[in-house]
Structure 1
Amino acid sequence: MKMLRAGVIGLGDMGSGLAKNLIKNDFETSGFDLSEQRMSVFRELGGRAAASVAEVARSADVVFVMVMNGGQARQVVLGEDGLVDNMKPGGVVVLTATIKPSEAREIGSAMAGSGIELIDSPVSGGFPGAQGGTLTMMAAGAPAVLEKARPVMEAVSQTIHIVGDKAGDGQTVKSCLQSLIGSIFSATFEAAALAAKAGVPGEVIYNVFSTSGAGCGVSKTALENIIDRKFEGTGSHIATMHKDLTIALDLAEQLEVPMQTASTAMQIFHAGKSKYPNGDNWVCTRVIEEIIGAELHR
């Protein structure tokens, strides 16, 4: 069977990881990003740098869309010179960006009858998962389409969950997940600040939390960055989680589900993003530390 050709639109922290692992697994990979610096890094990885989204579309059988928001995703997939108008019939778009479920449904509906298939598959695992090829995918699509794209999806992930068969199903599951992750992060920030004010060393808190029932990848990563004072450049920009919590709360409002904890997390992230717009998730702790006049160091 002929090996699938892959494409990636959006070569930032997450998209560059997708590209890296596609190339590592010997898939011919085309890519496009508005940043020339990112395109340069992509070329160094061995990727085929395209001049436009349309060029990627004409060069690939399966294209991953890893952009920031629903408007960008819609433009890439449906816009003039987008994927739908330029991929060969039978091509597959894998929507790995996190957007509103309603936006994914709109894109799916607009693609109906185009001959181009959609897999709605947001991912979890962040920068380390993307770069290491260990992402968790929440994939929704027709069984035959999922099977066709499986080889390239397996190249970038460790676990693929089939969570539905239509556009929006993957984004809905991701919204639920992000409401939990955002809440865990925020509770960790507060606990770290409490420890700082009480004079407990960060190393002690990290060791105890990591080996307790509360220990998980989310809290461990947050604590490690907090006690090492790494608030920028860790691959987990605060704008992304802020956006994801906004999406989760928007879904909750539509469904009339009370979300007290996630709502509080949203406010903590909003404070962090307002004060430190270039920071990563853990910078929220600095905002709390500044209020209490204490910092948690290793």
Structure 2
Amino acid sequence: MPLGIFSKCQPAPECGCLKQREVFMKTVGVVGLGDMGSGLAKNLIGNGFQTWGLDLSKDRMAQFEEMGGTPAHSPAEIGAQSDCVFVMVMNGDQAKSVILGSDGLVANMSPDGTIILTATIKPAEAQSIGRAMEGSGVHLIDSPVSGGFAGAQNGTLTMMAAADAAVLDANASVMNAVSATIHHVGTKAGDGQTMKACLQTLIGSIFSATFEASALAAKAGVPGGALLRVFSTSGAGCGVANTALEHIIDRQFEGTGSHISTMHKDLTISLELASNLGVPMHTASAAMQIFQAGKSKYPDGDNWVCTRVIEDIVGAQLHRNPEGST
């Protein structure tokens, strides 16, 4: 099967589509039930999969159980109970511990089980995990995702999946439960993370340009609603910029499901990869400094809070409607 793109479809039973080749309903696990992982769990449960879950937060575990999930007490328990496990943790060290630890997934999953690494980590870390799993009989799909909180909750994520085609084929229904589009971007561990690093340089740069444009408009007295209408219907309009601007003009800087620490981490990964490969990254480096400023001043904020740093400097704020209007 060549590398390519697979979209959701509803084929007849005889269709050979990637989506319809599983002959039994898998039991699925999710390690990490935060903004993204809770969305994975929600859609797996909604698609009829028995779903085990694990998170360090008692509140998240309670919410997971309320939506119909089965709580686990360790990665080992999830591994022993699941045919396929999503790993949606924050960084590479956590991923290695969950997957490779003595109480981890690989040591407790049955042969032919599959781990889907949806967390965004360094490509080299994913490669290391892949090497360590060789000979275990457990498969790894290196598949970071894009689509943010809304995509996770709505089951419309884009997956950048790297694994043998047969492994993707065997886990198609599970992956389709949480995504709208699956891109087959490679066959080796690390291929998915490399694609995600490239993507995040673009997304981070669009975000930072939107933050600066918003502060410029605020200082110039341009109403936020008008700015959004123009941006969203122009050649520059895109989901990334539109979403950022919506949150900025409505002054929603926390609790939107896009914590600033995540993009800060992702840009760190992108810039490290670029440094290792000798690739200059002028725009992404500038974006990183904007996110560093936002994270330093407003550590509890979401991505859009970077705008407040610039607004604080210029002494103006961008609102949807002009001051005094309704």
Could you tell me the TM-score, scaled by structure 2's length? 0.91
**Distance (whole Å) between structure 1 residues aligned to residue 24 and residue 219 of structure 2:** 61
Query: Which of the pair has more CA radius of gyration?
Result: 2
Unaligned runs of 5+ in 2: 1-22, 321-326
Counterpart of 2:182, as a letter, is I
SS at match of 1:13: coil
**Distance (whole Å) between structure 2 residues aligned to residue 113 and residue 158 of structure 1:** 32
Aligned to 1:272: 294
Matched, 1:149 2:180: no
**Distance (whole Å) between structure 2 residues aligned to residue 248 and residue 30 of structure 1:** 32
Deviation at 1:142, TM superposition (A): 1.1
Aligned to 2:314: 292
Matched, 1:163 2:181: no
Matched, 1:93 2:103: no
Aligned to 2:37: 15
SS at match of 2:177: helix
Counterpart of 2:61, as a letter, is M
Matched, 1:201 2:223: yes
Aligned to 1:66: 88
**Distance (whole Å) between structure 2 residues aligned to residue 183 and residue 66 of structure 1:** 24
Could you tell me the TM-score, scaled by structure 1's length? 1.00
Aligned to 2:199: 177
Deviation at 1:5, TM superposition (A): 0.8
**Distance (whole Å) between structure 2 residues aligned to residue 42 and residue 174 of structure 1:** 27
2:260 paired residue among 215, 238, 252 = 238
Report percent identity of matched pairs.
Answer: 71
SS at match of 2:52: strand
Matched, 1:282 2:282: no
Counterpart of 1:17, as a letter, is G
Aligned to 2:157: 135
1:123 paired residue among 137, 141, 145 = 145
Farther off after superposition, 128-137 or 140-149 = 140-149
**Distance (whole Å) between structure 2 residues aligned to residue 47 and residue 232 of structure 1:** 27
Q: Deviations over 1:59-111 (max 9, x none)?
A: 11000000000000000000121000000111000000000000000000000
Deviation at 1:272, TM superposition (A): 0.1
Q: Superposition RMSD on alpha carbons, in Å? A: 0.4
**Distance (whole Å) between structure 1 residues aligned to residue 170 and residue 66 of structure 2:** 29
**Distance (whole Å) between structure 2 residues aligned to residue 59 and residue 42 of structure 1:** 17
Unaligned runs of 5+ in 1: none
SS at match of 1:243: helix
Q: Deviations over 1:17-42 (max 9, x none)?
A: 00000000000100101111000000
**Distance (whole Å) between structure 1 residues aligned to residue 46 and residue 183 of structure 2:** 23
**Distance (whole Å) between structure 2 residues aligned to residue 117 and residue 132 of structure 1:** 27
Deviation at 1:144, TM superposition (A): 1.1
Matched, 1:247 2:261: no
**Distance (whole Å) between structure 1 residues aligned to residue 189 and residue 139 of structure 2:** 10
Q: Deviations over 1:138-176 (max 9, x none)?
A: 000011111111110000000000000010000000000
Moved over 2 A (4+): none
Deviation at 1:125, TM superposition (A): 0.2
1:262 paired residue among 265, 284, 303 = 284
Counterpart of 1:78, as a letter, is L
Deviation at 1:261, TM superposition (A): 0.1
Aligned to 1:189: 211
2:50 paired residue among 22, 25, 28 = 28
Counterpart of 2:99, as a letter, is V
Counterpart of 1:188, as a letter, is T
Count of residues in Structure 1 that have an aligned counterpart in Structure 2: 298
Deviation at 1:51, TM superposition (A): 1.0
Matched, 1:225 2:247: yes
Deviation at 1:2, TM superposition (A): 2.0
Counterpart of 2:312, as a letter, is E
**Distance (whole Å) between structure 2 residues aligned to residue 90 and residue 34 of structure 1:** 27
